[in-house]
Amino acid sequence: MSDNQKALEILSQALKLEQEGREFYLKAAEETLSEKGRAMFLSLADDEKMHAEMVLRQLHVLEGGGSYVLLPALSVRPIDLEVKIFPPERTEIEKRIGVNPNELDALHVALENEMKSYDLYRAAAKATRDEAGKRLYEWLTQAELTHFNLLMNNYEALVSLGGWV
């Protein structure tokens, strides 16, 4: 498989994950009882929309035979691409689910979604030889890690304190 074909495959997977993530966050925002939770889910939906648009632009360029376009607005902090995000132990989650099933279930699914995206972008950043592509994937990896941390903070706050942060 050529580098271009690999990139198209990765970007197609990324687009699907971002679109599904946005749909999920919009649905979660509709169903959560908390204004803080609703605001967080809507903000995450907006981020996923922006990520999908970025991925789609890259996909169109590569489909047209071009190469990754360096996006000047992306500032990429150094990131360790060897670091994986590990989910909380499922047994721990199952023990805690009783606090508020709807919101905790939504956060659990959201955490899993962010981990999938993080792992895809992390692997793509490590594998690509194109510098613009590498920067794009590193930026997206950071964005997904930020989402994961926000969701995990809210998950832990709901479990420990009974409320959103």
Here the CATH number for the domain that contains residue 15 is 1.20.1260.10
pLDDT at site 75: 66
Confidence of residue 96 (pLDDT cuts 50, 70, 90): very low
The two tokens of residue 94 are 């199952």
Residue 89, pLDDT > 70, answer: no
pLDDT at site 79: 73
Mean pLDDT value across residues 101-129: 89
- On average, the pLDDT of the chain sits at 85
Cα distances (Å, whole numbers) of residue 85 to 16, 92, 124: 20, 16, 15
Number of domains in the chain: 1
Mean pLDDT value across residues 112-135: 93
pLDDT at site 104: 82
The phi and psi torsions of 122 (rounded to 5 degrees) equal -60, -45
Structural domain harbouring 111: 3-161
pLDDT at site 127: 94
pLDDT at site 74: 63
Element (H, E) at 114: helix 101-127
Q: Is the distance from CB of 2 to CB of 18 less than 8 angstroms?
A: no
Mean pLDDT value across residues 59-73: 82
